[in-house]
Amino acid sequence: MKNLFRSASLTWPLVLIVTIVIGLGSVWAVPMTNDPKGFHDIPWGTSLSSRQDLEPIQADPHIVEYLRRTEPLSFAGTEMTKILYLSVDDQFARVIIRYQGDHVHRQVLSFLENRFGRLERIPGQMARGLTQQYNWRGSDTEINLTYQAGTERGYIFIDSRSLAPRFNDYITDFAQ
């Protein structure tokens, strides 16, 4: 019985350290070298409702999704599936970009690394996998890229760091 308690007392600190390290791994981000402070020359916080080049496609009292009327669906020099502009309380706060294909993913990843900072390649880190996630964090902007290798679908979230958390305030309005 004495050995059981000694073994358990040595195991708990190890389990705690491993849990903390694993949990922190998902929140690490590359420091952004060139914060865009918006997207396509639209600064964060801009009222999107007054822009003639954007068309609202879905709205509720606080969150509105827009598509650009004339913009070709391109980002990083390649074709995207969809580019959505989102506002929260009529302030531009997020862009969601969707794309398809491994070749597009490689081009997008290369563009983001060249423009916002190289990813830190840690020895032993998995560079390929079923779901890959990359993050860049600047003073005003955060970029999160998720790529699902099995379906070859990619999602990019470009967020205002100060406005995007307000989306969470309204999630419970929909979950009833």
Q: Has residue 21 been placed in a domain? A: no
Please give the Cα distance from 118 to 176 (Å, whole number): 42
Q: According to the model, what pLDDT value does residue 125 have? A: 43
**49 lies in a domain?**
yes
Residue 10 lies in a domain: no
For residue 103, give every residue at least 6 positions away whose Cβ sits within 8 Å of its Cβ, in sequence order, or none: none
pTM higher than 0.85: no
Please check the confidence at residue 24 and state whether its pLDDT lies above 70. Answer: no
Residue 9 in domain: no
Is 4 contained in some domain? no
Over residues 94-131, the pLDDT tens digits come to 999 999 999 999 999 999 999 999 987 654 444 556 88
Closest CA to 70 of 59, 54, 82, 83: 54
Provide the number of structural domains found in the chain: 1
**Pick from 121, 172, 112, 171: nearest CA to 142:** 112
- Look at residue 82 and tell me if it is in a domain: yes
| Owning domain of residue 44 | 29-174
